[in-house]
Amino acid sequence: MLSKLDDYPIHQTAEPILHTASSDRFHYDRFWYNAHARDGSFYFGVGMCRYPNLGILDCSLSLAIDGQQYAFHGSCRAPDEPTDLNVGPFSLQILEAMGRHRVVITANETGIECDLLFTPRTACIEEGRQTLRNSRHLVMDATRLDQFGFWSGWIRFDGRELQVDGATTFGLKDRSWGIRPVGEAYTGGAPLAEYQAIHFNWMPIHWEDECSLAGWFEDDKGHQWHTDQAFLPHYPSVEEIPGTNDPAARIWQGRVGHKLEMIPGTRRASAAVVTMHDKSGESLEVTLEPILVHRMKGLGYQHPEWGHGKWHGELAIAGESWKDSDLDPLALENLHVQQIVRATAGDKVGHGVLEQLHIGPSTALGFDDWFDGAE
């Protein structure tokens, strides 16, 4: 079956674009965005993903403010046209490729609406390919791009309206695609002999003169099997941003040093020092002060009902909210977080997030079991 994209010279196989090269049921193609106020007063995230081999398109918007979190969820049968990015009242509009994106949620039964514009301030950066296997099969094989920018517009929720100031609301666009566990887990076959611990941290920071990114995956012994480190210059307008590759971007390669102080009884940092290292010997030490927490289940991650790639019928939407202090911080669905952070590096001050997902034991972090909290 043909789609609009087939009119472009982008084919990787003899099949039309609609047909994936992989028949793996966990194939996915995701849009993901975050936003956070300079003063740490609110955070929102947006997600949309197409699962071509599951025939599902789902989306979400989640807002953390005043100790409360609000979430919109939507899911539908994936349209045959892959450029159709609409789920009921939710619409994602790509105004320019690697440029401005717009997210709209029209009036609906959840009471959550928005009209939000993402305007980039940097070029896109490609993260390294992330590949993880267990003893039997491929668990993850994904490519990701990141682009820093600002958000403007508004969000309506709970009878209130939040104005999003484009000068003081920092954000990031994250596109990833490939294979990752989504939808229902595989069933049948012999049980795996063991499961893999996963410890993931991701630190995008907006500085006054540039943006930086550090991310790392560790196993239970503290071995970093994947890292990303990059620095990207700002540009005063969308028109001045280089196309797909910025010659002024700096990519570092090396271990990411970290000291995370955990809140007792949780797997979430109360403070952190992260040291970026390059193989050249250059390094940058960043001190982080967490300000506000956002639970990633609001965007479907580990959500017991609205998890990624689950079938809800031809079209379904839902809204929910919760008070963060009422949650069990060690429940699986609550482990994955992004915290707004204030960052300092010498006399430099930045604003960003620290994403954390810690499942399983870790000698580096002091976890002995799968879901124990810090002492």
Give the confidence band of 269 by pLDDT, cuts at 50, 70, 90.
very high
Kindly state the percentage of the chain with pLDDT values over 90: 92
Q: What pLDDT sits at residue 291? A: 98
* Mean pLDDT estimate for the chain: 96
Query: What average pLDDT score do residues 308-321 get?
Result: 98
> Among positive and negative, which fits the CA dihedral 324, 61, 139, 130?
negative
Domain 4-184+196-359 maps to which CATH number in 2.60.40.10, 3.90.380.10, 2.40.370.10, 3.50.50.60? 2.40.370.10
Tokens of 117: 């514009």
Question: Average pLDDT for residues 363-372, to the nearest whole number?
Answer: 95
Paired tokens of 102 = 């717009």
The whole-number average pLDDT for the span 190-219 is: 94
| Per-residue model confidence (pLDDT) at position 186 | 79
Where b means 16+ CB within 10 Å and e means fewer, 65-80 reads beeebbbbbbbbebee
Conformational region of residue 326, where left means phi above 0, alpha means psi within -120 to 50, and beta covers everything else: alpha
Q: How far is CA 112 from CA 61, 153, 277, 308, in A?
A: 9, 14, 42, 20
For 167: left if phi > 0, alpha if psi spans -120 to 50, otherwise beta; the answer is alpha
Q: Is the pLDDT of residue 193 over 80?
A: no
Tokens of 362: 């870790």
User: Is residue 64 pLDDT above 90, yes or no?
Assistant: yes
Instruction: Give me the pLDDT at residue 22, please.
Output: 87
What is the model's pLDDT at position 204? 98
Q: Closest by alpha carbon to 233, among 115, 148, 167, 140? A: 148
Q: Note the pLDDT tens digit of each residue in 71-113.
A: 999 999 999 999 999 999 999 999 999 999 999 999 999 999 9
* Alpha-carbon span 87 to 103, nearest angstrom: 12
191 pLDDT band (50/70/90 cuts)?
confident
Res 119: pLDDT: 98
Which burial class, exposed, middle or buried, applies to 263 when counting CB atoms under 10 A from its CB (0-12, 13-18, 19+)? middle
Q: Find the mean pLDDT for residues 240-251.
A: 92
| Sheet bearing 210-218, strands edge to edge | 250-252, 224-233, 210-218, 198-206, 348-359, 337-345, 283-295, 269-277, 257-262
The mean-pLDDT minimum among 88-92, 131-135, 335-339 falls in: 131-135
pLDDT of residue 135: 83
CB 364 within 8 A of CB 203: no
pLDDT, tens only, 139-167: 999 999 999 999 999 999 999 999 999 99
- Name the least confident of 52-66, 177-191, 361-375: 177-191
Q: Is beta strand 130-133 parallel, antiparallel or unpaired with respect to 160-164?
A: unpaired
Q: What is the pLDDT of residue 59?
A: 98
- Kindly tell me if the per-residue pLDDT of 189 is higher than 80: yes
